[in-house]
Amino acid sequence: ADGDAAKGENEFKKCKACHMIVADDGTEIVKGGRTGPNLYGVVGRVAGSVEDFRYGKGLEDAAAAGFVWTPEAIAEYVVDPKAWLGGQGFEAQSKMTFKLRKGGEDVAAYLASLTGE
């Protein structure tokens, strides 16, 4: 992707009310809320696959289909999660009501950079 990870790190301030970033070894990269799933390693991960997180029907469908997050898909998803899910043929239902109007490429590049994706 062509996003700017440094800009995305700043943009992640809008996400951390609901999302933490905690590495597999427990290192807290971003202290965040628990409304949404941990986003560490989300790029390259099957959608809707954080254990013990109760996803909505749309991401459950995506998980069942084995859909894997790419930076491009995350950039599109965050603009309008519900519409994106429906557009992919998954159930148009999302528990993430937040919409990021612009800068999705940057935040996706930031998330990818954390795990070298």
Of 6, 17, 64, 68, the one binding ligand HEM (CB under 6 A) is 17
Among 21, 50, 109, 112, binds ligand HEM (CB under 6 A): 50
Among 52, 72, 77, residue whose Cα is nearest residue 62: 77
Residue 115 near residue 41, CB atoms below 8 Å: yes
**Residue 115: CB minimum distance to ligand HEM, A:** 13
How many Cβ atoms sit within 10 Å of the Cβ of residue 8? 23
**Residue 59 in the binding site for ligand HEM (CB under 6 A):** yes
Backbone angles phi, psi at 21, to 5 degrees: -125, 105
Total number of residues binding ligand HEM (CB under 6 A)? 27
Helix (H, G, I), strand (E, B) or coil at 60: helix
Among 70, 83, 92, 95, binds ligand HEM (CB under 6 A): 95
Backbone angles phi, psi at 90, to 5 degrees: -90, 165
**Residues in the site for ligand HEM, rule: CB under 6 A?**
14-15, 17-19, 35-37, 39, 42, 47-48, 50, 55-56, 58-59, 74, 77-78, 94-98, 100, 107
